[in-house]
Amino acid sequence: MVVEYTKECYCSETGGFAPAVGYAPNVTSTLSGIQIVYLVNNINSSILKYINIKKIREYLINSNIHNIHNTNIYNTNIYNNTLYYCNDLFGDIDTRIDCCIIVGLYILNKIENTNILNNICNNNILNNNFINHLLNCYNFDGGFGQVESGESHVAQTFCCLVCLCILGKLDKINIEETLIYLREKQYILNNTNNTVYNTNNILSNTDNILNKNNYGGIKGRVNKKVDVCYSYWAYASYMIIKNNSNIYNSNIYNDNSNLYNDNNIYNDNNLYNVYDTDNLIEFIMKCQHPNGGFSDRPGNMPDIYHQMFALASLSMLGMDGLNKVDYITSMVEI
């Protein structure tokens, strides 16, 4: 049923996938379609008879470039007459869209076993456009925003780190500042006085203090509630940095580093302890509903979205019995 529905959402004219039958295709839905094709293709390659990989690639690379200055949709003082990739013809700009395009091309590469990323990496105009846009969305606190000058957000940070990792440009950001940003989003309990803190010793907001079930959870941005999906965005971001950056050659272990000092609850000079993983796992497990599935927070109703991210997080955190997750593609490894 999933395969048949995915085929019905494929638009042979444009090469993109629609979010539902009868709707126009867009980039985010196209990534979902590519992910399904990749997973199904490893079981039954017949699905490739119904789609055109070349057409999908062209859709991602060519169909959604818009000159914001000429269309006069946005403030040109912010967007500086730059070409951006958009989700659809309505001009939706978001670092999430950049991620969907890059990851989509990356997965197509895995399907065809060809280096189709050269379409971007070897094209100076497109490559520089991607990199410049991502870096313009990088903020002083170490996180990335949805757009230039946008508030830092853990999910957007994940999207940008994935792009920079695939394109080999993680060295363009301050790794230490980004680790600090990610680390500060977890709520932990100071056992000496039973007070809930962020990991930078800033007192957490009231909602999280009053609800002990939230201990160990991760929030997406400042003054927001914890949510199980951010366990994935945050921990996957950490895994990208841990496994793909030159962290061992950086100044993170330096005594003057801001990441590990007397003002931090965790003062162990160990990069592998960016998160309190025991309490993070405990928080995720509290989000499991007695009847099955996972919710955003303990006590809420479960849904498929949060179940996927809960299981993916537990996999990355090493729970037995779960398939290994590729944090770049957000899929199980095959």
Task: Give tens-digit pLDDT for 73-101.
Answer: 333 234 455 567 888 877 788 999 999 99
C-alpha separations of 252 from 19, 96, 179, 210, 262 in Å = 43, 28, 10, 34, 15
> Is the model's pLDDT at 201 over the cut of 80?
no
Q: Which of 40-44, 57-61, 103-107 has the highest mean pLDDT?
A: 103-107
Give the lowest-confidence range in 116-120, 145-149, 191-195. Answer: 191-195
Half-sphere exposure of 17 (CA within 13 A, CB side): 28
* Interval 171-189: pLDDT, tens: 999 999 999 999 999 987 6
User: What's the predicted TM-score (pTM) here?
Assistant: 0.84
Can you tell me the distance from the alpha carbon of 274 to that of 293, in angstroms, rounded to the nearest whole number? 28
39 within 8 A of 110, measured Cβ to Cβ? no
> Is the model's pLDDT at 306 over the cut of 70?
yes
Can you tell me the distance from the alpha carbon of 89 to that of 322, in angstroms, rounded to the nearest whole number? 39
Can you tell me the distance from the alpha carbon of 98 to that of 104, in angstroms, rounded to the nearest whole number? 10
Task: Using CB atoms within 10 Å of the CB of residue 2, give its burial: 0 to 12 exposed, 13 to 18 middle, 19+ buried.
Answer: exposed
Can you tell me the distance from the alpha carbon of 266 to that of 281, in angstroms, rounded to the nearest whole number? 17
In whole numbers, what is the pLDDT of the chain averaged over residues? 80
Please provide the size of the chain in residues.
334
Can you tell me the distance from the alpha carbon of 315 to that of 238, in angstroms, rounded to the nearest whole number? 14
- Cβ count near 166 (within 10 Å): 22
Give the lowest-confidence range in 22-31, 209-218, 247-256. Answer: 247-256
